[in-house]
Amino acid sequence: MKAFVFPGQGAQFPGMGKSLYEGNTEAKALFEKANEILGFRITDIMFEGTEEELKQTRVTQPAIFLHSVILAKTTPDFAPDMVAGHSLGEFSALVANGTLAFEDGLKLVYQRAMAMQEACEINPSTMAAILGLADEKVEEICAEITDEIVVAANYNCPGQLVISGSNKGIEIACEKMKAAGAKRALPLPVGGAFHSPLMEPAREKLQKAIESTQFNTPICPVYQNVSTTAVSDVNEIKKNLIAQLTAPVKWTQSVQNMVKDGATQFVECGPGKVLQGLVKKIHPEAEVAGL
């Protein structure tokens, strides 16, 4: 069985999507439609912008979404048996499996980006990657820090967990992780504490937008970050999508469940190769490829 997986923030690179735009008339039309919906030429930033310009959340999220979704939409015989996306990638996955229309997906992603940007400004916060420590140990250390917010945010693969929280909390946690034997405790260049309680203001805004958007019955199940299991029920998809902003991304568990349900081939759809690497670490026997 073939699983299509969609990357999240961090996969962007200058020039992303340019060859797709130039080499496919359908792709070009979709990119131009996106420029119209967003009210600015995101394609100019994607194709010609600097890394710095691409790193702004309001640009990064729709840029990665567009690259992923347009790639899926212009791939002949695109027929996934199951889909999943890492954080932001979940929105791409939901367009790819027919739950969301292209326009609605893009509007939600842009609203999500703006709401997250605002939440970051309200609560200056950050994230850090912890390498070489058991998940349980990372969770235990986060729980010990009670006067600051620090939580496990991204379960990327065994031995690689990202934590999220207040600047001070992350600083304290990184010292404790190193003392406990982590190979590395590395602050990440992100705008805020994604997938933590500090994203609550963004979650509330996004909830309203999600609830007023049309969701359709998908052509195949999505394995969501919050539940990690196959979901096809529209109401459940909505509920998990709303919870996603303040809940951890359980990528390791999602991939394990996809394998358990018969996935043998994982195709990464979008910029970069990050997910192919993570899938290989989670399940070395899996066949991985990129579109």
CA distance linking residue 258 with residue 15, whole number of Å? 32
Task: Answer yes or no: is pLDDT of 120 > 90.
Answer: no
Sign of the C-alpha dihedral computed for residues 257, 262, 264 and 269 taken in this order:
negative
Task: Name which of 65-79, 189-203, 208-222, 265-279 the model is least confident about.
Answer: 189-203
The whole-number average pLDDT for the span 115-121 is 89
pLDDT given for residue 199 in this prediction: 94
Task: Answer yes or no: is pLDDT of 191 > 80.
Answer: no
Q: What is the mean pLDDT of the chain?
A: 95
pTM score of the predicted model: 0.94
pLDDT given for residue 273 in this prediction: 94
Tell me the catalytic residues: 87, 195
More confident site: 51 or 89? 89
Selection from 7-16, 118-127, 258-267 with the highest mean pLDDT:
258-267
Strands (E), 174-279: 184-187, 222-223, 230-231, 265-268
CA-nearest of 272, 266, 268 to 291 is 268
Residue at 254: amino acid letter: S
